[in-house]
Structures are given as structure tokens and as C-alpha cells.
Amino acid sequence: MGVVLACNNYEVIDLGVMVPSDRILKTARERGADIVGLSGLITPSLEEMVHVAREMQREGFEVPLLIGGATTSRAHTAVKIAPGYGPPVVHVLDASRAVGVVSQLKSAELRGAFAAENRREQERLRREHQARRSEKPLLSLQEARRRRTKIDWASYAPPRPSFTGARVLDPVPLEEVVPFIDWSPFFHTWEMKGTYPRIFENPEWGARARELFEDAQRLLRRIVDERLLVARAVYGFFPANAVGDDIEVYPDESRQGPLGTLHTLRQQADKGEEEPDQALADFVAPRETGLTDYLGAFAVTSGHRIEVLLERFERDHDDYGAIMTKALADRLAEAMAERVHQRARVDWGYGRAEELSHDDLIRERYRGIRPAPGYPACPDHTEKRLLFDLLQVEETAGIRLTETFAMYPASSVSGFYFSHPQARYFAVGKIERDQVLDYQRRKGMDLRSVERWLAPNLNYEPEEAEAAGGEGSEAKPAAAVR
Ligand code: B12
């Protein structure tokens, strides 16, 4: 976004990532910014954007606010952000549209009409949002639980991993990771849609894609040969059993006094009796079965030392090199997640006989899943705390968890392993207040915080529910690992 605008002669003041609201506003004021832009990658950013918009209103700002980034949407901007700030709040889908939007907002003749159209569109989106909420009622939590994934535990023997606890891989040799790269998302970073390698045949951008790929290979070779990025990983297995929609993780085979609990959320959509309403806890043997099941966890990063490399490009005003570096680091992080998962399946026993091609790996044609906190199957980012405590991720892999549960270095991935052959990815989707209240009690977290973290999943407006006299709760912070 910054590069595209800068190429069109706008001065862009890039404050970087995870910048507090007061610094954004202070800089905007001091530098006389004409427009403020916010970018959001993961859910916690959405709430932060609402906060920044309200702060801008409170401080009497009059400049337009632009919203973008992977996790944002037109609907969220209209429903949650725009109502808090008077001047235009505009969602920009991708960077290529930013120039058009900015030039209209800057033009005295065009601004009025553009802002009016944007306001009309957002009013329509708000009405739609309101109508959709009352359209299709969700199942009660009790009924959704009854429709849980059917697994025949009586005839199942959980595989036993060759070790329990955490194992550290430091450093992970990058040459071992490169073959696991899925290249298709690399092109999406450059706004080129398509699947690798077919993308090279695209009549419109095939040639450009090939050029980009060749540049990427050259830089990747240097990164690997000269060890310009340092990759670290940690993974492990823990005795675990499901207790309702929670997964208790135990310190040892005595399976007493849980070390921590993974709280999972259940789908509540009415999909008919045939289709299950799933929660990740469905895939771990319930405690009452007496089965000795396990939960796996991992955290990987390829981002150590990236600053040194980025500084070099930035010093040379080489934006292309800097974006390429970040894109490659992201690819390496995802590839590490794939590589370490393969190792974990071997350690867990059931992956020893696997013979999978690169394509099979990308299509996830293996047993088990590795949902990451923040992905649709476990949308609560705060569950990363448990994962970080179990694996001591800060110390073992050097990945820091920020207060909004983002990971630093940015090119990091963390998640859980489930080994059951019926384990599948799914999207929790919208959930009702009965589940949120139950979840909040299980987590020992106050209702308002839970509602904030799960905002995109709520099928109700917390303020309205509260005004209607709904049940509240006292704040009680959760200790993920006791
Ligand atoms: C690449 C990627 C990653 C990379 C790197 C992320 C990074 N750069 O920091 C890696 C592999 C490391 C990663 C990790 C994670 N990811 Co990820 N990731 C993605 C993915 C596939 C693409 C995002 C991306 O970079 N796209 C390319 C860029 C160029 O596009 P963009 O961000 O949308 O930006 C464009 C526009 O939005 C616009 N724009 C952006 N900002 C702004 C700002 C303004 C002002 C304007 C006008 C425009 C604008 O311009 C850009 C160019 O066109 C998305 C899924 C998706 N398809 O979007 C998931 C996604 C963002 N990730 C997700 C998650 C959950 C995670 C993890 C938390 C998972 C985990 N537990 O490990 C971690 C978090 C990492 C961290 N550091 O904390 C979720 C977020 C969901 C949520 N609601 O929170 C997503 C949406 C996937 C999903 N479907 O669930 N991820």
C-alpha cells in the first residue's frame, strides 16, 4: 500500500506494525497528515481500529480514515468502525484501488460526492447486517453439542508419540525447508491470482509472474547460502483428554491436575441432523473413555535477523527487495509449519509409512490437522497463551507474544496438532450468547473481554444483549498453565 501510494507521488509516513493509537494520532497531527490509514492482519487489529476511530473523533480529527488488510472487510468497516467517526471511513480492498480513493478524497471537487456515496453504501451494509442477524436462528449450545462429530471411541486406539514434552529445533536448516514451500500464496502477495506453476501460463500476467519467481529464487538462494535468516522451531506432545468442549492437557501419564486447558468453540449453525456441529475437542478422546490420547503443539519462525536484511534494502531505497524478503520469510514460515508437521507425524507413529508428494502435502493429504489459533476452527487468539506456555516458546524459539496476541518476529506460525483420522478443518462461524457465556465461565475470563476477542464470531450485539438485561460476569483473569 505504502509503495503504491509513494510511486504515485504521495508522501507516506509508515509507522510500522503494532503501533499504539496515541502515537498514530500524535504523528498525524504533528506531520499534518491529510489521511490516516490503518492495516489489520488478524482479528485483534479490528477492535484496535474501532478504538483508533473513536479516539480520532474524541480528539476532533477531520481527515478521512482508510481501512485495509487481510482481516478487514467492507461490512466490518461499515458496522463497527464508521459509526464511531464522523469524517469518511473508507475500506480499501487492495492497494491498487488506494490511489483512486486517495485522489478523490484529496480533490475538492470529487470529495463530497465520493464521501456521500461511501456513506450511502455503508448505511446499506449496516441495514443488511441487521437483517441477516435476525434471519436464521442458530442452534442452542446444548443442541449443537448433541450434534457433535460422531467418533466411535470404543474401537479406537490413540497412537502414542515417541516422546512427550517439547523438542527444540534450533536452527532449522533452511535448505531442509525450501522444498516444502507452497508458491501459490507468494503470488497473491503481488496481487497475482492463480496456482503455481500454472500461473506462468496466464495470458495477462504469466510473464511477469515468471520474472518475479526467478527474482525470488535468486534471493532465496542467497538467504539459504549466506544464512541471512535464522529459522527456529519447537514442537511437542502432551497427554490430553477432552472434557466437554475443553481439552485438558496433563503433565504426565497419571493424567491428574491439568497443566492447562485448550478451550474450543463449537459451530452452532443448523446444518441438519446429518452434518455435525464441530468443535476441535471432538477429535480428542473424552476423559470418560479412559483412552490415553495426546495433543500436539508447535511454533515456528523464519523471521530472526530479518531486520538486518530489510535495513539493507531500505537503505538502498529498494522497496521491491524489502517486500520480496518479507514474502519469502512468510513462505518459509509456512513451509516450516509443513516440514515440522511431517516430523511430528513420524514421531507420533502414524506418519512413518507416509509417501507423499509435494502436491499431496499442499493438499494436506495426510492424517491429522494443525489448526492455528486465529484460524477459523479456533478463532480465539488468546488460546496462544496456552501453546506458548506448554512449549515455552519465548525461550525455545525466541518468538514473542504481544499483548494483542500477535507474534513477533512477524514470520511466525503456531498451532495445535490433532491426530485422529476424522479430524478436519472447519469454520466455527457465528456463535450465540449461550455459548459465549459458557465459554467465558470455562475460561475464567470476563464476558466483555471474551466478546471483544470473539467479536467477528458473535451472532449478537453485546451492547444490545446487555441492555436487554443479559447475564454478566465478574472479571477473573485466566491462568492458562497452572
Ligand atoms: C501471508 C499470511 C501469513 C504470513 C505472514 C503474515 C504477515 N505478513 O505478517 C504468516 C505465514 C507468517 C502468517 C501467520 C499468521 N497468520 Co496469517 N495469513 C496470511 C494470508 C495467507 C495472506 C495475508 C497477506 O499477507 N496477504 C498479502 C497482502 C499483500 O494482502 P493484504 O494483507 O490483504 O493487504 C492488501 C490489502 O488488504 C490492502 N491493504 C492492507 N493494509 C492496508 C492498509 C490501508 C490503509 C489500505 C488502504 C489498504 C491496505 O493492500 C494490500 C495489498 O493489496 C492470510 C489469508 C488471506 N488470504 O488473506 C492469512 C491470515 C491473515 N492469517 C491469519 C492468522 C490467524 C495467522 C496467525 C495468527 C496463525 C497462527 N496462529 O500462527 C499467524 C499470525 C502471525 C503473527 N505474526 O502474529 C488469519 C487471520 C484471521 C483472523 N481473523 O485473525 C488469516 C486471514 C487466514 C484465515 N483465513 O484465517 N500469516
C-beta 438 within 6 A of ligand 1? no
Dihedrals phi, psi of 431, to nearest 5 degrees: -130, 155
| Domain end residue (candidates: 71, 106, 135) | 135
Closest ligand 1 atom to Cα of 372: 71
Distant-in-sequence, close-in-space partners of 127: CB < 8 Å, separation ≥ 6:
none
Q: Is the peptide bond before 83 cis (omega within 30 degrees of 0)?
A: no
C-beta 375 within 6 A of ligand 1? yes
Whether residue 426 lies inside any domain: the answer is no
Beta bridge partner(s), residue 298 = 235, 415
Q: What is the pLDDT of residue 44?
A: 85
Q: What is the pLDDT of residue 134?
A: 60
Q: Are 45 and 69 in contact (CB under 8 A)?
A: yes
In this structure, the answer to whether residues 236 and 324 fall within a common structural domain is: yes
Whether residue 427 lies inside any domain: the answer is no
Closest ligand 1 atom to Cα of 412: 12
| Domain end residue (candidates: 135, 163, 178) | 135
For residue 28, how far is its CA from the centre of ligand 1 (angstroms)?
25
For residue 150, how far is its CA from the centre of ligand 1 (angstroms)?
33
For residue 40, how far is its CA from the centre of ligand 1 (angstroms)?
8
For residue 364, how far is its CA from the centre of ligand 1 (angstroms)?
20
Whether residue 39 lies inside any domain: the answer is yes
For residue 41, how far is its CA from the centre of ligand 1 (angstroms)?
4
pLDDT digits (tens, 9 = 90+) for 311-344: 999 899 898 999 999 999 999 999 999 999 999 9
Asked if pLDDT for residue 223 goes beyond 80, the answer is yes
In this structure, the answer to whether residues 270 and 364 fall within a common structural domain is: yes
Distant-in-sequence, close-in-space partners of 354: CB < 8 Å, separation ≥ 6:
342, 345, 346, 366
Asked if pLDDT for residue 209 goes beyond 70, the answer is yes
For residues 407-431, average pLDDT: 96
Q: Which amino acid is at 373?
A: P
Helix (H, G, I), strand (E, B) or coil at 94: coil
Whether residue 388 lies inside any domain: the answer is yes
In this structure, the answer to whether residues 171 and 258 fall within a common structural domain is: yes
Asked if pLDDT for residue 477 goes beyond 50, the answer is no
Beta bridge partner(s), residue 400 = 408
Closest ligand 1 atom to Cα of 410: 77
Q: What is the pLDDT of residue 133?
A: 67
CATH of residue 61:
3.40.50.280
Q: What is the pLDDT of residue 467?
A: 78
**C-alpha grid cell, residue 257:** 491436575
Q: What is the pLDDT of residue 292?
A: 97
State pTM to two decimals: 0.92
Q: Is the peptide bond before 239 cis (omega within 30 degrees of 0)?
A: no
Whether residue 438 lies inside any domain: the answer is yes
CATH of residue 207:
3.10.196.10
Residues of the domain holding 220: 153-417
* First CA to last CA distance, the chain: 43
Which has more confidence, 384 or 473?
A: 384
In this structure, the answer to whether residues 317 and 360 fall within a common structural domain is: yes
Asked if pLDDT for residue 193 goes beyond 90, the answer is no
C-beta 112 within 6 A of ligand 1? no
pLDDT interval class at 18 (50, 70, 90) = confident
Dihedrals phi, psi of 377, to nearest 5 degrees: -80, -25
Closest ligand 1 atom to Cα of 188: 27
For residues 193-219, average pLDDT: 93
Q: Are 191 and 94 in contact (CB under 8 A)?
A: yes
Look-up: residue for cell 514474502? Answer: 327
Shortest-distance Cα residue to atom 1 of ligand 1: 330
Closest ligand 1 atom to Cα of 42: 84
Helix (H, G, I), strand (E, B) or coil at 225: helix
pLDDT digits (tens, 9 = 90+) for 55-88: 999 999 999 999 999 899 999 999 999 999 999 9
Q: Are 268 and 432 in contact (CB under 8 A)?
A: yes
C-beta 43 within 6 A of ligand 1? yes
Helix (H, G, I), strand (E, B) or coil at 367: coil
Share of the chain above pLDDT 90, in %: 80
C-beta 21 within 6 A of ligand 1? no
C-beta 1 within 6 A of ligand 1? yes
Q: What is the pLDDT of residue 481?
A: 35
C-beta 141 within 6 A of ligand 1? no
Asked if pLDDT for residue 253 goes beyond 50, the answer is yes
C-beta 333 within 6 A of ligand 1? yes
Among 7-11, 32-36, 353-357, the range of highest mean pLDDT: 32-36
pLDDT digits (tens, 9 = 90+) for 257-310: 899 999 999 999 999 999 999 999 999 999 999 999 999 999 999 999 999 999
Whether residue 157 lies inside any domain: the answer is yes
Q: How far does CA 362 lie from the centroid of its chain?
A: 19
Shortest-distance Cα residue to atom 90 of ligand 1: 375
In this structure, the answer to whether residues 466 and 411 fall within a common structural domain is: no
Please state which of the ranges 211-220, 310-319, 409-418, 465-474 shows the lowest mean pLDDT.
Answer: 465-474
In this structure, the answer to whether residues 303 and 363 fall within a common structural domain is: yes
Q: What is the pLDDT of residue 135?
A: 67
In this structure, the answer to whether residues 174 and 295 fall within a common structural domain is: yes
In this structure, the answer to whether residues 241 and 127 fall within a common structural domain is: no
Asked if pLDDT for residue 474 goes beyond 70, the answer is no
For residue 262, how far is its CA from the centre of ligand 1 (angstroms)?
24
Q: For the residues of 374-396, what is the DSSP string, one character each?
A: TBTTS--GGGHHHHHHHHTHHHH
Asked if pLDDT for residue 479 goes beyond 70, the answer is no
Q: Are 266 and 222 in contact (CB under 8 A)?
A: no
Asked if pLDDT for residue 424 goes beyond 70, the answer is yes
Which has more confidence, 16 or 241?
A: 241
Look-up: residue for cell 530472526? Answer: 304
In this structure, the answer to whether residues 226 and 371 fall within a common structural domain is: yes
In this structure, the answer to whether residues 313 and 209 fall within a common structural domain is: yes
C-beta 391 within 6 A of ligand 1? no
Q: What is the pLDDT of residue 96?
A: 84
In this structure, the answer to whether residues 83 and 124 fall within a common structural domain is: yes
Look-up: residue for cell 479430524? Answer: 423
Q: Which of 358, 342, 362 is nearest to 350 (CA)?
A: 342
Q: Are 432 and 138 in contact (CB under 8 A)?
A: yes
Q: What is the pLDDT of residue 471?
A: 53
Whether residue 423 lies inside any domain: the answer is no
In this structure, the answer to whether residues 268 and 375 fall within a common structural domain is: yes
Q: How far does CA 216 lie from the centroid of its chain?
A: 25
Q: Are 434 and 336 in contact (CB under 8 A)?
A: no
Q: Are 159 and 237 in contact (CB under 8 A)?
A: no
Please choose from 38, 41, 401 the residue to mutate so as to test ligand 1's pocket, defined by most ligand atoms within 8 A of CB: 41
Q: What is the pLDDT of residue 4?
A: 87
Q: What is the pLDDT of residue 470?
A: 58
Structurally, the chain folds into a number of domains equal to 3
Whether residue 44 lies inside any domain: the answer is yes
**C-alpha grid cell, residue 259:** 497443566
Q: What is the pLDDT of residue 464?
A: 81
Q: How far does CA 437 lie from the centroid of its chain?
A: 23
For the chain, give the mean pLDDT.
92
pLDDT interval class at 468 (50, 70, 90) = confident
C-beta 330 within 6 A of ligand 1? yes
Q: Is the peptide bond before 158 cis (omega within 30 degrees of 0)?
A: no
pLDDT digits (tens, 9 = 90+) for 365-410: 899 999 999 999 999 999 999 999 999 999 999 999 988 899 999 9
Share of the chain above pLDDT 70, in %: 96
For residues 435-462, average pLDDT: 94
Q: What is the pLDDT of residue 130?
A: 82
What is each CA distance from 38 to 21, 324, 336, in whole angstroms? 10, 22, 30
**C-alpha grid cell, residue 325:** 524478503
Which has more confidence, 431 or 42?
A: 431
For residues 435-443, average pLDDT: 98
Shortest-distance Cα residue to atom 55 of ligand 1: 70
For residue 434, how far is its CA from the centre of ligand 1 (angstroms)?
30
| Domain end residue (candidates: 393, 417, 441) | 417
